């Protein structure tokens, strides 16, 4: 389903890593997501997606309209993919293992 969508909406009130959001960003989707939890560390409003206030229907609605206005925004789509590559679960796991190996020396 994600493959055929134009916009990915992720209106979580609380969120940790948000793997589904990272996957959507990796597929260069325009994303609309609550600026909460782990999401706020990688979603930069109007740079690689659209950040909305958690729990605010008005903010979510506005973000969705903004997403529709930006469907052709290739720069945002490419930036989303670049961000996703940094937060890919395999890469994060490798970096974590390296860190632990250094600590255990």
| pLDDT greater than 90 at residue 89 | no
**Residue 88: its pLDDT value, please?**
76
| pLDDT greater than 90 at residue 91 | no
Q: 90 CB contacts (<8 Å, ≥6 apart)? A: none
Q: Is 97 exposed, middle or buried (0-12, 13-18, 19+ CB in 10 A)?
A: exposed
**Residue 80: its pLDDT value, please?**
97
Other Cβ atoms less than 10 A from the Cβ of 102: the count is 8
The predicted model scores a pTM of 0.84
- C-beta of residue 87 within 8 angstroms of C-beta of residue 22: yes
């Amino acid at each position: 389903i994600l493959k055929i969508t134009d916009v990915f909406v992720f209106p979580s009130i609380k969120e940790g890593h948000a793997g589904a959001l990272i996957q959507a960003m990796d597929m260069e989707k325009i994303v609309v997501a609550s600026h909460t939890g782990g999401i706020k560390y990688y979603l930069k409003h109007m740079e690689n997606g659209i950040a909305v206030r958690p729990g605010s229907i008005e903010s979510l609605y506005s973000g969705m309209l903004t997403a529709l206005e930006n469907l052709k925004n290739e720069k945002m789509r490419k930036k989303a993919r670049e961000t996703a590559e940094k937060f890919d679960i395999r890469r994060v796991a490798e970096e974590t293992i390296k860190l632990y190996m250094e600590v255990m020396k």
